Structure 1
Amino acid sequence: MSQKTPVDFWFDPLCPWAWMTSRWVLEVEKVRDIEVRWHVMSLAVLNEDKLDEVDEEYRELMRTTAWGPVRVAIAAREEHGAHVLGDLYTALGTRIHNEGMGAEKEAVAAALRDTGLPESLLDHWDDTPYEEQLRASHKEGIEKVGQEVGTPIIAVPGADGEQIAFFGPVVTPTPKGEEAARLWDGTLAVASVPGFYEIKRTRTKGPDFSNL
């Protein structure tokens, strides 16, 4: 039996677009021989030197709300193992996005209960001894694609064994079944071309969670 292809996925629970993409990758996992490995990145870390360039609402989000969920997630990884991140992210995204609770402490507490993780992980909300690990996980992902993107970041082995990494894709609603597989195949096809950087069009609607 062939070994599954590892797919590394960096997420911040705050981002609704990363949530959509993550559900797509799990659909791909059903129809392609891949295995997703989850990693934490942080929009707060990404934007901490750019706060003068964003509007006040986003600036406040990055200074406050954005830190708590990723601190809890990295603490869960450090204290309970990387294998808990997939289920925790599913629980976080369901509470934050699908149920509309937002990236608040109550939503994260509910997600911890959903996954059987101790609520004592909430002690990391305002501060964590795992700051260095959080930044290292973020750096590992963002250095694969550059500072001008956000979350999610996906990395897969290329034909030569070197990783191919890219931001996105940004898509809504989440593709299912063979549609998910076609998008996966096409994304890998363009991402594997040396010197390829971007396909983009203006978003005409926001994240649609109706099929999640």
Structure 2
Amino acid sequence: MSDTGTITGDDGKSRCHWHANLPDYMRYHDEEWGRPVTDDIRLFEKICLEGFQSGLSWLTILRKRENFRAAFAGFDFEKVALFDDADIEHCVADAGIIRHRGKIVSTINNAKRAIELKKEFGSLARYFWSFEPGAADRPGAVNRAYIAANPTTPVSVRISKDLKKRGWTFVGPTTVYAFMQAMGLVNDHVEGCFCRSEVESMRKALVRP
């Protein structure tokens, strides 16, 4: 790993070091992480999965993501909001996901809260992107030391507090910041990572909801 926090893959490209050249993790880094998302289903999925990740590694969740999608109706929050006690027990018995009853119940609760949020703002995307940090909220050049020292930011704290007031659960500021990073509300690919400029171009071209 270089001093900038990048590693070079067999293809000669420099990337953020955290994927450790694991094929599935590298694919997630290259194709998904940090690329701006405005689709409500994907936003809901990600914030729920970040909640499941609490106390675990993202790689564990990533490798179970398809199982989670099957268990939670593709994270269609209109459908998940209708889950009943039988559905909860089915999920608790599902060895393909993280069988944490509290997090499963939280996902169903958050689906109901997501419906409320959509009714108020028109979409989840409009709500979350309204918190997009401005230039004053971010350093000029993201680096490994900054990210390691800042698992939360003032913006993620504000979102977390607002979501909790609205009844959401498992949405602490660290969870929210990881969500922001993954969904492209910030560009935390480190300097020297080939994805950083690609993501920045996508963010500039994005039509905000």
**TM-score normalised to the size of structure 2?**
0.36
Q: Which has the higher strand share?
A: 1
Q: Which has the higher helix share?
A: 2
